[in-house]
Amino acid sequence: MSAEANKIFNPELWVQKYGDDLYAWAFHRTGKKVVAEDLVQETFLSALGSMEKFRGDSNEKTWLFSILKNKIIDYYRKAFVKYEMNESRMQPDHKETSFLNHFFDKHGSWNKSQRPSNWHDEEDNLLDDEEFRQILKLCLNSLPENWFALINLKFMEERKTPEVCKELGITPSNLWVIMHRAKLQLRACIEENFLD
């Protein structure tokens, strides 16, 4: 290890200094203890391997976090591919039509029971409402795995469609179709649980 790298980095202290913060983030993003632990370990090992390349333009913690974020992207990319393959083994066309039929009638108008209600979000700032946020989290987690993976990939740090599509090997059209369905389901779940 070069003298410069030695000065900036103290890998022996990484677990002690950053282990909990990295784990908290990984667990928050994946919801899975073992997965989060593995991601933290992989982050440290990956960091060890690329210490020489580090240009010192950020601090140790920021750098480790950026490695972790890339690991999380990989994790969701693999999850998407895995669950997308499972999906396509079922009959995709039939599934897609019947999904939309739940929300819209044969003319493409909202079914009466599915019409969006008023959430009165001008009056109450829902983004600060703890109950709303809990329901959002629950509803997100109840989405199909491949949709959930895509949402994570797209919304994580406001990543752009072309970038996400390239990673997953899908077209923007594919992405828009999934997001449409995911948002329909998510919105309906939230309305059902949030409005009494």
Binding site for another protein (CB under 8 A): 1, 11-12, 14-15, 19-21, 23-25, 27-29, 33, 36-37, 40-41, 44-45, 48, 100, 103-104, 107-110, 115-119, 121, 126-127, 132-133, 136-137, 140, 151-152, 154-158, 161, 172, 175-176, 179-180, 183-184, 186-187, 190-191
User: Closer to another protein at the Cβ: 86 or 115?
Assistant: 115
Least CB distance from residue 5 to another protein, whole Å?
10
Q: Mark out the alpha helices in the chain (DSSP H runs).
A: 3-8, 11-30, 33-49, 60-89, 92-103, 130-141, 145-155, 161-168, 172-194
Q: In whole angstroms, what is the distance from residue 176 CA to residue 186 CA? A: 15
Least CB distance from residue 80 to another protein, whole Å?
15
Least CB distance from residue 172 to another protein, whole Å?
7
Least CB distance from residue 101 to another protein, whole Å?
10
Is the CB of residue 30 less than 8 Å from the CB of residue 39?
yes
Q: In whole angstroms, what is the distance from residue 73 CA to residue 51 CA? A: 21
Place of tokens 């066309």: 93
User: Closer to another protein at the Cβ: 81 or 140?
Assistant: 140
Spatial neighbors of 133 by CB under 8 A, at least 6 apart, are 127
User: Closer to another protein at the Cβ: 48 or 85?
Assistant: 48
